[in-house]
């Protein structure tokens, strides 16, 4: 790949799912996988189109139990366009002889190009070239241009285009025992000659969906609407060396859209008004140019090329169009059906990047959480606590969507799933509220919706903490940490663990930040908030006490992942590596053997070390000091080494967090983990998972690794704090950010020199805090600073 393209040469069926995910095109409103238009869903190909926030809930019978699941719905497929010689078989790379095949994703302009050359026998060949876009300026439009060129003789080519409403959610083999038929009431029709439509509804959420397709070609078109497919047919007379072009333009609307009456009417009107294919790219390209400028990134070499691909997919999932939607951060993008399109804690790795480029998108994503605050409060009440308990997995309405059973594909067994006990997701939301307001200076949001969320999350943590007289500290019991492997103590029938260090330290941080906000709230707003929430001085005094007395367990001079972690058995890592090779999903391996990862000191991903990802060394030491624990550099280094040796890296986030933490510790092995984070999706390091959807948190996190991790960039106390760390493998890089109203601030680091350029404006200067000095940079000025190693 290059800075501008991702290219695949040759047709390889085993790689198709991966290519489809990485060649997905989208605009923040909807996305379509990079599947070949002539191929339907099967074991090789999986076309899929997903609209952000379009969910549906179904109940299935699994392992003798009724299981309810909500999914991001695979909507009617607008791609189908197949072709054959008159009277022959349909041509596909699976059924015909392919002479050449190339697929190119043009990142700069959001265009997918495909070129395939088929042999037709008797010295004849057919070249098919396609250009596809999902429009970034008009979020409801997509288009496909197909060019046919015959060689060695004339040919009559039958072409069939369609909108297919018979699709189901079947993109993840592990979910195939679940009902995936989400669409009903499929109807098709003709709007005008050459334009067909299809409409349907989701079965339980009752979202109305409509697509309209306009076909243009140098031959008569026959419209043939059917029960579940709106079909259009034509025959091209190909002469050697002459290219014939068929253009398909599609409009997509749902009843969730703003400022429309009827989705079908809106789709038909939009596709009728849309320019022809030649007229679509100009505004599409302009929209992409604007996105690239706002997210300017200059990193040399292969790392830079992969980072641009990551940025491309982040922008396709969360674009400025997202600011108008009621959606969260889907962990696997809009690129597939893994995790059922649910919203986890991945926004913790995404929003810190967006805050400094697209703050309006960050704000919208936080609004998604605020709109579901009442549901989170109801969830807390259901556990007998006050405050807000946000779900580990969220979808349409904010209820807990975590599965209660999950399938281990190694053993074929459906097992209890306790990941809903990851209550730390509330702290991730609070962290994002704070980071967004610090970066953008959005006092209005902080003083209203932000303060409400912080207050209710703090209330939950304070109510969850119980006093242990023997320790003289508060404890939080019955939770699951970010590691996810450990859901219970060995041989315990009760799920959950006590005093997960990450959970407790984050709870203390949330309580502290919330108290800071309450102290600085304008008096009228504080009065309103107190009246609405029945907050009293006694409650805030309790929060102060809890924030200083939460228990953090230690063993052998290191921070314990949870109380009792030090008593678990050591795993023979070498033996398992020798036996299985890839042990990233150690939990599945052990369960298939009749064992449990709960017995061992083994983590899927960073847990304790997440603290080093979220906080600078100075801030982390301050947190532990406030809790009454000393955390010197030696203790932290021992903790890093301890868990590094006991982590299987069964998540794409693991390499990212470990690379970040090791870089901040100035460790030589940091680059190894940074590379793993960079290659997680493009090399499909998790063994086939990328074909089910990209890993959005890891992609955005690698961008933030350059933006904040290596530079030590923090936005706090009204200043930009910078403490760059040397990384020999990436010694020169640059990027631009938006900060507190200043747009297009450029930072470049080269061999110990930091350059900061602030664009001209009438805004006040930017205060920059370095480890050894403070600097003010006026708008219109460029400051070049020498930074210590």
Q: Given pLDDT bands bounded at 50, 70 and 90, which one contains residue 405?
A: confident
pLDDT at 597: 94
Considering only 5-19, 127-141, 445-459, 659-673, which range has the smallest mean pLDDT? 659-673
Confidence of residue 174 (pLDDT cuts 50, 70, 90): confident
| Whole-number Å distance between alpha carbons of 705 and 345 | 18
Tell me: pLDDT of 369 over 90. yes
Of the candidates 296, 241, 294, 3, the residue with the CA atom closest to the CA atom of residue 125: 241
Identify the pLDDT of residue 692. 97
pLDDT in tens, 716-738: 989 999 999 888 888 899 999 99
What pLDDT shows up at residue 726? 84
pLDDT at 149 over 80: yes
Q: What 3-state class would DSSP assign to 707?
A: helix
The predicted model gives 151-180 an average pLDDT of 95
Average pLDDT, the chain: 96
Band of residue 788 on the pLDDT scale cut at 50, 70, 90: confident
Q: What is the mean pLDDT of residues 153-161?
A: 96
Residue labelled with tokens 């699976």? 94
Residue 315 has pLDDT above 80, yes or no: yes
Q: For the purposes of burial, counting CB atoms within 10 Å of the CB of 89, is it exposed (0-12), middle (13-18) or buried (19 or more)?
A: exposed
Q: Which helix or strand (DSSP H or E) is residue 440 part of?
A: helix 425-440
Place of tokens 């309810």: 68
Structure tokens at 720: 């930009």
562-588: pLDDT as tens digits:
999 999 999 999 999 999 998 989 999
Q: Report pLDDT for 64.
A: 82
| 677-720 confidence digits (pLDDT tens) | 999 999 998 888 999 999 999 999 999 999 999 999 999 989 99
Average pLDDT rounded to a whole number, residues 105-118: 98
CA 205 – CA 415 distance, rounded (Å): 28
Token pair in block for residue 721: 């704090």
What b/e sequence results for 312-345 when a residue is b if at least 16 CB atoms lie within 10 Å of its CB, and e otherwise? bbbbbbbbbbbbebebbbbbbbbbbbbbbbbbbb
pLDDT of 779 > 90? The answer is: yes
Residue with tokens 């047709």, as numbered in its chain: 11
The two structure tokens encoding residue 749: 């680091």
| Beta pairing partners, 252 | 211
pTM beyond 0.75: the answer is yes
Contact between 405 and 415 (Cβ < 8 Å): yes
Which pLDDT does position 4 carry in this prediction?
Answer: 94
Could you give the CA distance from residue 77 to residue 74 in angstroms, rounded to a whole number?
A: 8
> Looking only at Cα atoms, what is the longest distance across the chain?
90
Count CB atoms within 10 A of the CB of residue 221: 20
Q: Is the pLDDT of residue 638 over 90?
A: yes
Model confidence at 239, in pLDDT bands (50, 70, 90)?
very high
Angle at 706 between CA 705 and CA 711, to 5 degrees: 100
DSSP state of 25: E
Predicted confidence at residue 787, as pLDDT, reads 83
**One of 70, 438, 484, 539 is an active-site residue; which one?**
484
Write the burial class of residue 147 (CB in 10 Å: 0-12 exposed, 13-18 middle, 19+ buried). Answer: middle
Nearest to 108 by CA among 279, 335, 288: 288
Mean pLDDT of 379-391: 98
What's the pLDDT at 433? 98
Round to whole Å and give the CA distance between 213 and 223: 11
DSSP notation for 602-622 = -BSS-STTHHHHHS-HHHHHH
pLDDT at 76: 98
Q: Quick one: tokens of 458?
A: 């703090």
Instruction: Give the pLDDT score at 122.
Output: 87
Residue 424 pLDDT exceeds 80: yes
Supply the pLDDT for residue 710.
93
Query: Is the pLDDT reported for residue 379 higher than 80?
Result: yes
What do you get for the CA distance between the two ends of the chain, in Å?
33
Count CB atoms within 10 A of the CB of residue 530.
Answer: 17
Mean pLDDT of 752-770: 94
Q: How far is CA 786 from CA 719, 724, 789, in A?
A: 19, 11, 10
Partners of 143 in beta bridges: 133, 249
Strand duo 719-721 + 766-770: pairing: parallel
The confidence score (pLDDT) of residue 728 equals 87
By the 10 Å C-beta count (0-12 exposed, 13-18 middle, 19+ buried), 762 is classed as: exposed
Cβ atoms of residues 101 and 10 within 8 Å:
yes
Nearest by Cα to 745 from 378, 392, 181, 357: 357
Lowest-confidence region among 614-618, 639-643, 726-730, 756-760? 726-730
Q: What would the pLDDT profile of 39-77 be if each residue is shown by its tens digit?
A: 999 999 999 999 999 999 999 988 788 889 999 999 999
Q: How many residues in total does the chain contain?
A: 789
pLDDT average, residue stretch 70-96? 97
Instruction: Write the pLDDT tens digit of every residue in 467-523.
Output: 999 999 999 999 999 998 999 999 999 999 999 999 999 999 999 999 999 999 999
Give the integer Cα–Cα distance in Å for 345 and 323: 19
Q: What is the mean pLDDT of residues 398-407?
A: 90
Helix (H, G, I), strand (E, B) or coil at 664: helix
**pLDDT tens by residue, 295-313:** 999 999 999 999 999 999 9
One-letter-per-residue 3-state SS of 45-99: CCCCEEECCCEEEEEEEECCEEEEEEEECCCCECCCEEEEECCCCCCCCCCCCEE
pLDDT at 595: 93
CA distances from 632 to 109, 183, 340, 657 (A): 49, 57, 42, 20
pLDDT for res 519:
96
Verify whether residue 484 is a known catalytic residue: yes
Q: How do 124-134 and 111-121 pair as beta strands? A: antiparallel
């Amino acid at each position: 790949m290059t800075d501008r393209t991702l290219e695949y040469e040759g047709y390889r069926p085993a790689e198709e799912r991966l290519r489809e995910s990485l060649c997905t095109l989208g605009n923040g409103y909807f996305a379509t996988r990079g599947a070949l238009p002539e191929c339907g869903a099967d074991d090789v190909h999986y076309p899929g189109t997903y609209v952000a926030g379009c969910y549906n809930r179904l109940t299935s019978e699994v392992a003798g139990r009724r299981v309810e699941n909500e999914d991001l719905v695979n909507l009617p497929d607008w791609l189908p366009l197949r072709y054959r010689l008159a009277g022959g078989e349909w041509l596909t790379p699976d059924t015909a002889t392919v002479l050449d095949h190339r697929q190119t994703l043009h990142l700069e302009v959001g265009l997918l190009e495909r070129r395939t050359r088929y042999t037709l026998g008797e010295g004849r060949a057919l070249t098919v070239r396609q250009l596809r876009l999902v429009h970034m300026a008009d979020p409801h439009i997509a288009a496909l241009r197909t060019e046919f060129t015959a060689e060695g003789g004339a040919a009559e080519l039958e072409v069939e285009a369609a909108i297919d409403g018979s699709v189901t959610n079947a993109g993840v083999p592990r979910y195939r025992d679940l009902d995936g038929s989400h669409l009903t009431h499929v109807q098709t029709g003709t709007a005008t000659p050459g334009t067909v439509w299809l409409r349907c509804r989701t079965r339980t959420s009752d979202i109305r969906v409509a697509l309209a397709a306009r076909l243009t070609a140098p031959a008569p078109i026959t419209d043939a609407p059917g029960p579940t497919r709106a079909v259009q047919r034509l025959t091209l007379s190909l002469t050697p060396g002459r290219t014939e072009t068929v253009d398909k333009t599609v409009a997509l609307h749902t009843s969730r859209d703003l400022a429309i009456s009827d989705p079908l009417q809106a789709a038909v009107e939009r596709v009728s008004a849309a320019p022809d294919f030649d007229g679509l790219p100009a505004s599409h390209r302009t929209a992409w140019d604007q996105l690239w400028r706002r997210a300017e990134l200059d990193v040399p070499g292969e790392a830079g090329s992969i980072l641009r691909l990551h940025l491309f997919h982040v922008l396709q999932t969360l674009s400025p169009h997202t600011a108008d939607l009621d959606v969260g951060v889907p962990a696997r993008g809009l690129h597939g059906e893994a995790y059922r399109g649910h919203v986890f804690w991945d926004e913790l790795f995404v929003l810190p990047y967006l805050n400094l480029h697209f703050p309006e998108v960050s704000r919208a994503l936080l609004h998604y959480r605020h709109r579901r605050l009442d549901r989170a409060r109801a969830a807390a009440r259901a556990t007998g606590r006050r405050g807000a308990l946000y779900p580990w997995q969220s979808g349409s309405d904010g209820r807990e969507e975590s599965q209660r059973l999950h399938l281990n594909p190694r053993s074929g067994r459906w097992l209890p799933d306790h990941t809903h006990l990851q209550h730390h997701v509330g702290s991730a939301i609070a962290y994002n509220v704070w980071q967004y307001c610090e970066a953008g200076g959005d006092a209005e949001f902080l003083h209203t919706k932000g303060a409400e969320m912080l207050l209710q999350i703090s209330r939950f943590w304070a109510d969850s903490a119980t006093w242990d007289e023997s320790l003289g500290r508060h404890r939080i019991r019955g939770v699951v940490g970010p590691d996810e492997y450990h859901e219970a103590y060995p041989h315990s029938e009760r799920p959950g663990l006590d005093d997960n260090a990450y959970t407790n330290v984050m709870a203390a941080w949330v309580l502290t930040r919330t108290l800071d906000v309450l102290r600085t709230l304008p008096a009228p707003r504080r009065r309103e908030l107190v009246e609405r929430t029945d907050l009293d001085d006694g409650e805030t005094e309790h929060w102060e006490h809890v924030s200083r007395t939460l228990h953090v367990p230690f063993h052998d001079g290191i921070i314990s992942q949870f109380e009792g972690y030090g008593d678990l058995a050591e795993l023979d890592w070498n033996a398992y590596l020798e036996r299985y090779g890839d042990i990233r999903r150690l939990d599945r391996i052990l369960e298939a053997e009749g064992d449990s990862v709960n017995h061992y000191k083994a983590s899927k991903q960073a847990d304790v070390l997440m603290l080093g990802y979220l906080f600078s060394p100075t801030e982390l030491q301050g947190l532990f000091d406030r809790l009454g624990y000393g955390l010197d550099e030696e203790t932290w280094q021992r903790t890093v080494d301890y868990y590094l040796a006991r982590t299987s890296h069964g998540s794409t986030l693991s390499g990212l967090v470990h690379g970040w933490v090791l870089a901040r510790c100035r460790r030589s092995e940091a680059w190894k983990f940074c590379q793993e984070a960079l290659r997680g999706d493009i090399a499909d390091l998790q063994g086939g998972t990328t074909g089910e959807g990209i890993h959005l948190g890891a992609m955005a996190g690698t961008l933030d690794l350059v933006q904040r991790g290596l530079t030590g960039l923090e936005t706090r106390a009204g200043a930009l704090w910078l403490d760059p760390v040397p990384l020999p493998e990436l010694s020169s890089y640059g990027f631009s950010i938006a900060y507190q109203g200043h747009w297009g601030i450029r930072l470049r680091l080269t061999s110990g020199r930091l350059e900061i350029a602030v664009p001209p404006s009438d805004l006040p200067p930017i205060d920059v805090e370095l480890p050894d000095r403070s600097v003010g940079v006026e708008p219109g000025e460029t400051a070049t600073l020498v930074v210590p190693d």
